[in-house]
Structures are given as C-alpha cells and as structure tokens.
Amino acid sequence: MAASSNDRRNERSGGGEQEEEARTDGWMTTYSDMVTLLLTFFVLMFALSNIDNARVEMFFAALSRDGLTAEQFLEIQERHNINIGDGDELDEFMPYPTPGDAEDEAGHEDGESDGERALRELAEAIGLYIDDEGLTGEINVVFNGEFLMLTLTSDMLFSPGRADITPDMEETANMIGRLLGDNFNIDDPFEVSVVGHTDNVPMNPNNVMFPTNWHLSNGRAMTVLQVLLDSSGIDPPFFYMRGVGEYRPIASNYTPEGRQANRRVEVMISLARDNPLWNGGPTLDY
C-alpha cells in the first residue's frame, strides 16, 4: 500500500512538471504573433514610404545584365512611372539608349507614328512660312495633333463672284502644296479635304457659271484643290472637295466683317487611316 501511495505521489509530481512545462511553452505563440504583426507593420511602412529612385534604377540595371533588353527596360520604366534620366549613369550595366538614340531607332519621338510625325512637321513648316511671309491675318492655322486645318479667306484668294485664284496668292497656294508633298508619307498617308464656303449674299442670276452660292463654293474649292494637287505631286485619290455655299457660317452674315469671315476655303489635312470610310485607301504603284 505504501509503495502504491508513493507511486501515486510520484505520478502526480511528474504530471505536474509536464503541465508546468506545457504552460511554459505557451508564450511562444504570443511572441510569434507579435513578431508577425511587427513585420507586417514594417512592410506596410515601407510600402508607404518614398522609394529611392537611385536604388530602383540600379536594380533595373542589374536585371539588364541577366538578359533584360533596352525595350523591356523602357517598358518597366513606363509601367512604374520611374524617371531614370538619360541613362548615362547606367552605361556600365547596359547600353541604355539616350532620347536621341531612341528617336533614331524608332524613327520618331513620343510614340508618334510616321504619319503623325509627318503631319506635325507639316504644321510647323506651314506655320513658319506664314509667319515669314506676313500672312498670319490671311491664313489661319489650327493643329491639334490629329488634324491640320488651314482657313484661307476668299477675299484674298479670289475676285468677287469669281473662282480663279489671284496671281498674288497663287505662289502661296503653290508653296503650301509643295510643303504638303514634301511631308507626305505613302505608308501612312494624309487625306486632304478642301471645302468652299460663301456668305449669304445671293449670286447674280445672270452669272451663267455660278448662278448660286452652291456653285461658287464648289468652284472655289475645286480651284484650290487643283493647285494643291499639281504642286504637291500627290495622287488624286488622297484628295476630295465639296462646296457648302452659305450654310456653314462661322460669323454673322448681318455685318460686313461677319460676311467676310464666312467667305473662306478650308483645307483639312488628316491621316487617311483615321477616316472610317478610307478602308486602307487605293492601291497605287510607286
């Protein structure tokens, strides 16, 4: 009986030690939770902090040594909105292209297509010509990156009631046509629309050639189109014209100034591929 009593006491004693040991190990769970929370906190703080661009640059440069191409490098830069300058500081890691090199390789800048670049250069060339010739008041130029609109006053181009261009302005129209031809790209071509407008003053019914403003606006548009066609050397399928008479005014026809503004010829130059009716354009041999 005594031995049995001692055994029971020893068992109770041993069991107490095991329970105490198990209770002692419980602090690890709390400690692990705390460390995890601290790690999450520091990761969050890092994510919200300002990233050192220099370290990011060197990271991308290091990637380039493992096969990252210049194009992929630029794509990552753009995707993460990171400015890495001209790349001179990364030459030891990769032949990173400077802006000039990128333009030479792509043939254009800022993601422009060949046609978009040609249209922009045409707008710049025509603007310089108009400024040099002092024609700012006679020819209005609007360029928004998608189209170039030239507005020529009819009083400058034509005699009243007539559609033959005046000798003084023929050279100007020819120069615009030559600039148009110089910047034309057959692989990404322009489409040239010429539209004639008049005021609302009725035509003389005895005018056999132009009995109405419809006829006069069409005749003037045709004259300008023919000059541009001849001087540019561009094939006819890239042109079209129309006359709208007095029905698209831009000013009041109740004042002399308004009627003068309404008498105009508009030359709209845009990329042919932007016209849903173009469908690839004509097949031409060059």
Find the range with the poorest average confidence among 18-22, 147-151, 260-264.
18-22
Per the structure, the count of domains in the chain is 2
DSSP strand pairing (264-271 vs 147-153)? antiparallel
- Domain end call among 76, 106, 136: 106
Given 85, 106, 127, which residue is the final one in a domain? 106
Residues 46-51 have a mean pLDDT of 62
Q: Terminus-to-terminus CA distance in the chain, angstroms?
A: 120
Q: What is the mean pLDDT of residues 106-110?
A: 50
Distance CA 25, CA 10 (A): 23
Between residues 139 and 80, which one has the greater pLDDT? 139
CATH of the domain at 235: 3.30.1330.60
pLDDT digit string, tens, across residues 174-221: 999 999 999 999 988 999 999 999 999 999 888 889 999 999 999 999
Looking at residue 41, its pLDDT comes to: 75
Q: Does 58 score more than 80 pLDDT?
A: no
pLDDT at 234 over 90: yes
Looking at residue 155, its amino acid is: D
Q: In whole angstroms, what is the distance from residue 167 CA to residue 159 CA?
A: 11
215 lies in the same domain as 80: no
Domain, as residue range, for 96: 2-106
Same domain, residue pair 70 and 142: no
Domain shared by 96 and 163, yes or no: no
